């Protein structure tokens, strides 16, 4: 289950660490990953509009899910303000607006959390598993908990994985020439921390002391909302499973704030429904008729902000707690810092400023509070880098200490940027997979 918001990162993101001396430099730039964004966008099916914005590169999009008339109105008014730098665009989403082989386009029901019988949004079930099965070379091993990457200190290579069957509780070792860890940021890190400890007490990939450190997320839940006057004779088609997006505008194009990096907004406009009448505790025909009519238009947006890497934000193996299979769990120690605190003021106030500039009434700001993990975009605990002394992975996602092990989920990220990250994980994974196949053919692995 995911929200399906899918955005490319730009060189503003890949260059930021190096430019500002934060964390480690990404070992890749946008040009390295751009063809792989193309590849995964075509496969997954991302709908979106071409906008020509340097901070949010365009991609291989299906037609966008259009803005509704409330959003169009405010987007149009906003164009005349802030030098046109703040723009409301259709949310780029992994929901199909055109069919792909074996999948039907989205029916605008906004029920994706139930799973989609049409394959209308990108998921393992609709997309990657069928593609893998079609190769005829997929073996699916359910109930398998990988508990360790097996490592041979003589060849300096991983030899396979140890698997605990969640049902029978039997252990099996599988051998492999290459291993991809894509168990999600925290679980891949957990696996590395538990592996090859006879060689590195801190785990496989820990020789730099970066493994488990620099845990990051997107901080959010700050923004503003208000009421749009008019348009009371207008409604919208179906239930669109996305909203609008306002790409980052802070600390770009000459703008300079007291914090580093920036944020983007996800939001939407809609008409209030019958539930607005519940608080009135009314009764009778007039009350019923009023509740049956759409209410006024409201519009709002929540910012998703970049979080800086900080080595003190880390995960370790908790030696005191175990799960139901007797496996130790992760201990997580992570907090936001001063940069995020300063950014949150703008995240709240900038939305209000834009809405007011566009004539929205009764504008209210909010900061609903945030702690790491709420953003569900955890990243960074096995970061890529240029130097094995300060990073866990090289530019092709290979563990420096064991080049036949690839980590391509969010653990590999050297920074978070502010757009949602999963499209970037997918592109990095596809890129690393091609590299691994070629290296295997050249007998380098």
Ligand X SMILES: Cc1cc2nc3c(=O)[nH]c(=O)nc-3n(C[C@H](O)[C@H](O)[C@H](O)COP(=O)(O)OP(=O)(O)OC[C@H]3O[C@@H](n4cnc5c(N)ncnc54)[C@H](O)[C@@H]3O)c2cc1C
SS3 370: coil
Which of 2, 18, 51, 107 binds ligand SF4 (CB under 6 A)? It is 107
Sign, CA torsion 386/387/393/399: positive
Distance CA 351, CA 349 (A): 5
| Residue 37 is a binding residue for ligand X (CB under 6 A) | no
Q: Binds 206, which of ligand X, ligand SF4, none (CB < 5 to 8 A, cut-off by type)?
A: none
| Residue 112 is a binding residue for ligand SF4 (CB under 6 A) | yes
Q: Judged by CB under 6 A, which stretch of 141-149, 267-275, 312-320, 435-443 contacts ligand X?
A: 141-149
Q: Judged by CB under 6 A, which stretch of 105-113, 174-182, 317-325, 409-417 contacts ligand SF4?
A: 105-113
| Residue 297 is a binding residue for ligand SF4 (CB under 6 A) | no
- Provide the 10 A C-beta neighbour count for residue 442: 8
Distance CA 58, CA 50 (A): 6
Give the CB-side neighbour count of residue 51, counting CA atoms within 13 A: 23
Nearer to ligand X, 143 or 274 (CB): 143
Nearer to ligand SF4, 241 or 305 (CB): 241
Q: Binds 1, which of ligand X, ligand SF4, none (CB < 5 to 8 A, cut-off by type)?
A: ligand X
Q: Binds 118, which of ligand X, ligand SF4, none (CB < 5 to 8 A, cut-off by type)?
A: ligand SF4
- Show contacts with ligand X in window 344-383 (CB under 6 A): 376-377
| Cα→Cα distances 383→26, 310, 337, 422, Å | 9, 12, 20, 16
Tokens representing 165?
């069957």
Which of 70, 120, 380, 410 binds ligand SF4 (CB under 6 A)? It is 120
Distance CA 31, CA 11 (A): 8
Q: Binds 5, which of ligand SF4, ligand X, none (CB < 5 to 8 A, cut-off by type)?
A: ligand X
- Show contacts with ligand SF4 in window 220-249 (CB under 6 A): 241
Q: Which helix (H) or strand (E) holds 331?
A: strand 328-333
SS3 content of the chain, % helix, strand, coil (to 5): 25, 25, 50
The residue number with the shortest CB distance to ligand SF4 is 120
Compute the least distance from the CB of residue 354 to ligand SF4, in Å. Answer: 28
Nearer to ligand X, 144 or 199 (CB): 144
Check: CB of residue 221 under 8 Å from CB of residue 348.
no
- Show contacts with ligand SF4 in window 42-81 (CB under 6 A): none
DSSP 91: P
Compute the least distance from the CB of residue 112 to ligand SF4, in Å. Answer: 3
- Show contacts with ligand SF4 in window 413-442 (CB under 6 A): none
Distance CA 159, CA 402 (A): 10
Nearer to ligand SF4, 106 or 186 (CB): 106
Which of 16, 44, 78, 116 binds ligand SF4 (CB under 6 A)? It is 116
Which of 49, 187, 227, 349 binds ligand X (CB under 6 A)? It is 187
Compute the least distance from the CB of residue 410 to ligand X, in Å. Answer: 6
Q: Which helix (H) or strand (E) holds 355?
A: helix 338-357
The residue number with the shortest CB distance to ligand X is 3
Beta-sheet strand order (sheet of 361-367): 89-90, 244-246, 263-271, 297-305, 219-228, 361-367
Q: Binds 106, which of ligand SF4, ligand X, none (CB < 5 to 8 A, cut-off by type)?
A: ligand SF4
Distance CA 358, CA 355 (A): 5
Q: What is the 3-state secondary structure (H, E, C) of 68-137?
A: CHHHHHHHHHHCCCHHHCCCCEECCECECCCCECCECCCCCECCHHHCCCCCCECCHHHHHHHHHHHCCC
φ/ψ region of 23 (left if φ > 0, alpha if ψ in -120 to 50, else beta) reads: left
Q: Judged by CB under 6 A, which stretch of 49-57, 176-184, 193-201, 304-312 contacts ligand X?
A: 176-184
Which residue's entry shows tokens 């906004």?
A: 110
Nearer to ligand SF4, 14 or 122 (CB): 122
Binding site for ligand SF4 (CB under 6 A): 95, 106-107, 109-112, 116, 118, 120-121, 241
Residues that bind ligand X (CB under 6 A): 1-5, 144-146, 182-184, 187, 191, 376-377, 409-410, 420-422, 425
């Amino acid at each position: 289950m995911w929200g399906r918001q899918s955005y490319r990162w730009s060189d503003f993101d890949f260059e930021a660490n190096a430019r500002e001396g934060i964390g480690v430099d990404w070992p890749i730039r946008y040009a390295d990953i751009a063809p792989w964004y193309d590849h995964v966008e075509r496969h997954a099916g991302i709908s979106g509009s071409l906008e020509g914005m340097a901070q949010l590169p365009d991609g291989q999009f299906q037609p966008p899910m259009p803005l509704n008339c409330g959003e169009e109105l405010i987007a149009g008014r906003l164009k005349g303000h802030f030098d046109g730098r703040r723009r409301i665009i259709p949310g780029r989403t992994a929901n199909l607006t055109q069919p792909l082989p074996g999948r039907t386009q989205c029916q605008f029901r906004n029920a994706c959390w139930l799973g989609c019988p049409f394959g209308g949004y990108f998921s393992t079930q609709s997309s990657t598993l069928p593609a893998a099965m079609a190769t005829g070379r997929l073996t699916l091993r359910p109930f398998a908990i990988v508990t360790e990457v097996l490592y041979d200190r003589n060849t300096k290579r991983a030899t396979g994985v140890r698997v605990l069957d969640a049902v029978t509780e039997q252990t099996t070792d599988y051998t492999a020439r290459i291993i991809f860890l894509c168990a999600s940021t925290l679980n891949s890190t957990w696996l590395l921390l538990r592996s090859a400890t006879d060689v590195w007490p801190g785990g496989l990939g820990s020789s730099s002391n970066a493994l488990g450190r620099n845990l990051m997320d997107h901080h959010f839940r700050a923004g503003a909302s208000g009421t749009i006057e008019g348009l009371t004779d207008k409604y919208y088609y179906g239930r669109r499973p996305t909203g609008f997006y306002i790409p980052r505008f802070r600390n770009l194009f000459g703008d300079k704030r007291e914090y580093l990096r920036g944020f983007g907004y996800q939001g939407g406009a809609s008409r209030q429904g019958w539930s607005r009448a519940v608080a009135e505790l009314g009764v009778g025909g007039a009350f019923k008729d009023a509740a049956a009519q759409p209410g006024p238009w409201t519009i709002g947006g929540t910012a998703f902000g970049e979080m800086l890497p900080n080595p003190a934000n880390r995960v370790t193996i908790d030696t005191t707690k175990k799960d139901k299979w007797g496996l130790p769990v992760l201990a997580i120690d992570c907090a936001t810092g001063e940069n995020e605190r300063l950014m949150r003021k703008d995240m709240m106030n900038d939305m209000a400023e834009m809405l007011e500039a566009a004539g929205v009434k009764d504008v209210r700001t909010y900061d609903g509070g945030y702690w790491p993990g709420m953003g569900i975009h955890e990243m960074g605990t096995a970061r890529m880098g240029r130097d094995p002394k300060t990073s866990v992975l090289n530019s092709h996602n290979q563990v420096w200490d064991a080049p036949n092990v690839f980590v391509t989920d969010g653990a590999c990220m050297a920074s978070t940027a502010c757009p949602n990250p999963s499209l970037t994980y997918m592109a990095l994974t596809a890129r690393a997979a091609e590299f691994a196949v070629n290296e295997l053919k050249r007998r380098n692995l």
